[in-house]
Amino acid sequence: MYIDPHAHMVSRTTDDYEAMAAAGVVALIEPAFWVGQPRTFVGTYVDYLSSLVGWERFRAGQFGIRHYCTIGLNSKEANNEALAEGVMAWLPRFAMKEGVVAIGEIGYDEQTPLEEKYFRAQLALAKELALPVMVHTPHRDKKRGTSRSMDVCEEMGLDPSWVVIDHNNEETVRETLDRGYWAGFSIYPSTKMGNARMVELLRHYGGDRIIIDSACDWGISDCLGVAKTARLALASGIDAQVVRQVTYANALCVYGKSGQMHESDWLDPPEIDQRTLYEGNSILRGGREPRIEHPRQAADDLLID
């Protein structure tokens, strides 16, 4: 049973949902992010946020996966000031929606003054609404950008135990943990973290406050990042308890602080929950097969009905 606490499902297919469910993913968190193409209207951003709390949640529910999300203005689009101002005015409304477990992913891309401005404004919002924060750390000048992100969180008066610093690597993890933050690792081929490296990190640091995610999105990425890393870690002799912490329990602990994510959501859902649109199987009641409306066509199946 896994949680993928960072997955951009708007960019993924139903095959991926099916594969994740089959691999044991019971819940995922979809952070608001940059969709590859910059948005140039406030309205398109608003509709994107609506899709995170509406349509995408329904899609996930069809495969028996509970869908949560984080709401935020990402660092790249914070650099379009007109857009950023407009989006900021809408954020408080979305932050109050059902299943919103954090403000995120926010932080730095190129570490510009505008990124800094909206990062701080959103940290203030998270504090005001008593929501956890998911911080995206930059790809370039990563080590300094990560330290600076934590400096700003502390300047804004956030409690590190409410903040996940994501996309860590071997160079950033020590400081992140030492300063009391949760350390997210994105198992993402080529650019972020590989899972063999991750296993070595688990061997060294153990499971406390470490969180593994796939960060799967529109790029070449793997929606099974969490499940595959768990299997590799177990096969490599990492303690099962540690694996459970980093692929399930830690994410639930920090994002559960929002009051919007409970283990009972997937362990003991209503029989058929038409209002929350979830068609999962009740594990506590013995487990039915997830009811998938449109089962996947196998790639080698010639017939399409």
Partner 1 sequence: MIEPLHSRATTALSLSATTLLCRWVVRQAAAQETWFLDALYRLQTSADEHTLHLFLGQVPRRLGKADLELTPQDLTAAHSLLPGWSPLDWSLDGAARIAGLLAFPGQRPFAALFEDLVRTADARELITLYRGLSFYPEAASLSAPVGAGLRSNTRAVFEAIAHGNPYPRDHFDLHRWNHMVLKALFIGSRLSPIVGIDQRHNPELARILLDYAEERWAAGRGVTPELWRCVGPCVDALGAYAALQRALAGSPAERLAAGLALSQTDTPSARHLLTSVPETAALIGTGRIGWSNLHHYEAI
Contacting residues toward partner 1, per CB under 8 A? 46-47, 49-50, 53-55, 57-58, 90, 93-94, 96-99, 259, 274-277
CB of 8 to partner 1, least distance (A): 18
**Is the Cβ of residue 272 or residue 284 nearer to partner 1 in the bound state?**
272
Instruction: State the Cα–Cα distance between residues 78 and 300, nearest whole angstrom.
Output: 44
CB of 98 to partner 1, least distance (A): 5
**Is the Cβ of residue 49 or residue 224 nearer to partner 1 in the bound state?**
49
C-beta of residue 90 within 8 angstroms of C-beta of residue 73: no
**Is the Cβ of residue 275 or residue 300 nearer to partner 1 in the bound state?**
275
CB of 95 to partner 1, least distance (A): 9
DSSP 248-301: IIHHHHHHGGGSS--THHHHS--SSBTTTTB----GGGT-PPP--SSPPPPTT-
**Is the Cβ of residue 47 or residue 85 nearer to partner 1 in the bound state?**
47
**Is the Cβ of residue 61 or residue 138 nearer to partner 1 in the bound state?**
61
Host H or E run for residue 18: helix 14-23
Specify the residue for token string 């949680």: 3
Burial class (CB in 10 A: 0-12, 13-18, 19+), 154: middle
CB of 295 to partner 1, least distance (A): 14
CB of 257 to partner 1, least distance (A): 14
C-alpha to C-alpha distances, 9 to 78, 158, 196, 217, 240, nearest whole angstrom: 22, 29, 25, 7, 28
CB of 93 to partner 1, least distance (A): 5
CB of 260 to partner 1, least distance (A): 9
**Is the Cβ of residue 5 or residue 99 nearer to partner 1 in the bound state?**
99
CB of 290 to partner 1, least distance (A): 16
- Partners of 29 in the β-ladder: 68
Specify the residue for token string 């995408």: 56
Could you tell me which of 86, 5, 85, 75 has the C-alpha nearest to residue 33?
75
C-beta of residue 74 within 8 angstroms of C-beta of residue 105: yes
User: Mapping DSSP to helix (H, G, I), strand (E, B) and coil, where does residue 32 land?
Assistant: coil
Number of alpha helices (DSSP H) and beta strands (DSSP E) in the chain? 12, 8
**Is the Cβ of residue 99 or residue 225 nearer to partner 1 in the bound state?**
99
**Is the Cβ of residue 11 or residue 276 nearer to partner 1 in the bound state?**
276
Tokens describing residue 22: 């089959």
